[in-house]
Amino acid sequence: MTTPMDVVLITGMSGSGKSVALNALEDSRYYCVDNLPPELLTSLIELEQQHHAQHIAVAIDVRSATSLPMLPSQLQLLDERGLRIKRLFLDASTQTLVQRFSETRRRHPLSSKGTTDQQRALAEAIELERELLSDLREQSHVVDTSMLRSAQLQAYVKALISAPPAQLTLVFESFAFKRGVPADADYVFDVRMLPNPHYEPSLRALTGRDAAVQAFLQQEHSVAQMQDHIQRFLEHWLGALASNHRSYVTVAIGCTGGQHRSVYLVEELAAHFAGAWPTLKRHRELDALR
């Protein structure tokens, strides 16, 4: 029996970390192609199928702006042939992208206006890029890299590609509201009204993964109630999301510092759903400390 080809398509904003993601896939023994013109996607896959390739990763971005409109039809053709492509879209806040371009002194691909070569303001170029890529973003699993180190992004990409194909994968992510809401979240739950272990001196330095913090939160009725409400909501709608051909659903749980309450609930929710759905978990603030 022939093993079906595993194809990952990476798109996203310039400066969002596509090269980092490709490096992670290359480490995972993917054959990687950067900046492939969209019109060559089908031909590349057909060629690699003839060579019995099993793992391919392709990055397509706004550098191929003139032929980007061709990409949806290419993807539809591949879908009709039964080839399921994992689509990842890397994003970041405009402020973060401006900072990254300023630090590297690289030129944005859309920084000039047509043949006049008039310099376009960086923020304006970024917003134009968002507009050009908006349809691709809607069809992909979004990863917000604004606050991710390269090692975090590589770990997240490797976890995402390891999920079983053709199934909806749940991604639970804890975060701190004081550092902003993740742009890749499909659903956001605010748990800042729950009792906070931070105000217990013996628990302040611990996290929601530690037994003492878990014991503290488990004795609070409001915490169990919040967990039950989130579980019921997801259990009600996950079937509909899966039937709508969604590959990933990211559920973000936020508290003030992203250390205790949100971490605890992500751990509990991931354990609860793991038996029914492929499940991943992230802790944005804790992972950044590794």
Whether the pLDDT of residue 238 is over 50: the answer is yes
Q: Judge if 200 and 237 occupy the same domain.
A: yes
Answer yes or no: is pLDDT of 12 > 80.
Answer: yes
Q: Are residues 21 and 132 in the same domain?
A: yes
pLDDT score of 113: 54
> Which pLDDT belongs to residue 83?
83
Structure tokens at 198: 């931070």
Kindly state whether residues 188 and 151 are assigned to the same domain.
no
- Average of per-residue pLDDT across 101-109: 87
- 32: helix, coil or strand? strand
pLDDT at 105 over 80: yes
Q: Please indicate, yes or no, whether residues 151 and 182 belong to a single structural domain of this protein.
A: no
Examine residue 156 and state whether it is found in any structural domain, yes or no: yes
| 15 and 117 part of one domain | yes
Q: Does 212 reside within a domain?
A: yes
pLDDT over 90, % of the chain: 63
Do 146 and 187 belong to one domain?
Answer: no
- We report the CATH number of the domain holding residue 65 as 3.40.50.300
User: What's the Rg (C-alpha) of the chain?
Assistant: 21
CA pseudo-torsion sign 225, 230, 233, 234: negative
Q: Does the residue 19 lie in any domain?
A: yes
Cα(195)–Cα(51) distance, integer angstroms? 58
The pLDDT, as a whole number, for residue 160 is: 87
Q: For 65-81, what is the mean pLDDT?
A: 83
Whether 127 and 183 map to the same domain: the answer is no
245 pLDDT above the threshold of 80: no
Q: Do strands 118-119 and 112-113 pair parallel, antiparallel, or not at all (unpaired)?
A: antiparallel
Would you state the pLDDT for residue 115? 40
Predicted confidence at residue 165, as pLDDT, reads: 63
Structure tokens at 186: 């499909």
Number of domains forming the structure of the chain: 2
pLDDT of residue 3: 62
Q: Does residue 254 share a domain with residue 156?
A: no
Residue 1 lies in a domain: no
36 is written with which tokens?
A: 């492939």
Last residue of a domain, one of 137, 161, 185: 161
- Mean pLDDT value across residues 271-282: 93
Unique residue bearing structure tokens 């001196």: 201
List the domain range (segments joined by +) for residue 204: 169-287
Per-residue confidence band for 207, with pLDDT thresholds at 50, 70 and 90: very high
Percentage with pLDDT > 70 across the chain: 95
- Lookup: tokens for 237: 């709608």
Mean per-residue pLDDT over the chain, rounded: 90
Question: 144, 161, 178 — which closes off a domain?
Answer: 161
**138 and 174 belong to one structural domain:** no
Single-letter code of the amino acid located at 70: M
116 pLDDT band, cuts 50/70/90, is very low
Coil, strand or helix: which one is 258?
A: coil
pLDDT tens digits, one per residue of 128-169: 999 999 988 988 899 999 999 999 999 999 988 887 765 789
Statement: the pTM of the whole predicted model exceeds 0.85: no
Domain assignment present for residue 254? The answer is yes
Together in a domain, 150 and 196: no
Considering 161, 180, 208, which residue would you say is the last residue of a domain? Answer: 161
Environment class of 253 (CB within 10 Å of its CB; exposed 0-12, middle 13-18, buried 19+): buried
Mean pLDDT of 49-68: 87
147 and 173 both lie in a single domain? no
Look-up: residue for tokens 């800042």? 192
Which of 57-61, 86-90, 182-186, 251-255 has the highest average model confidence (pLDDT)? 251-255
Q: Which residue has the higher pLDDT, 8 or 67?
A: 8
Quick: pLDDT tens for 210-231. 999 999 999 999 999 999 999 9
Work out the angle at residue 22's Cα, subtended by the Cα atoms of residues 80 and 289, and round it to the nearest 5 degrees. 125
DSSP string, 45-112: HHHHHHTT--EEEEE--GGGGGGGGGHHHHHHHHHHTT--EEEEEEE--HHHHHHHHHHHTPPPTT-E
CA 151 to CA 148: how far, in whole Å? Answer: 8
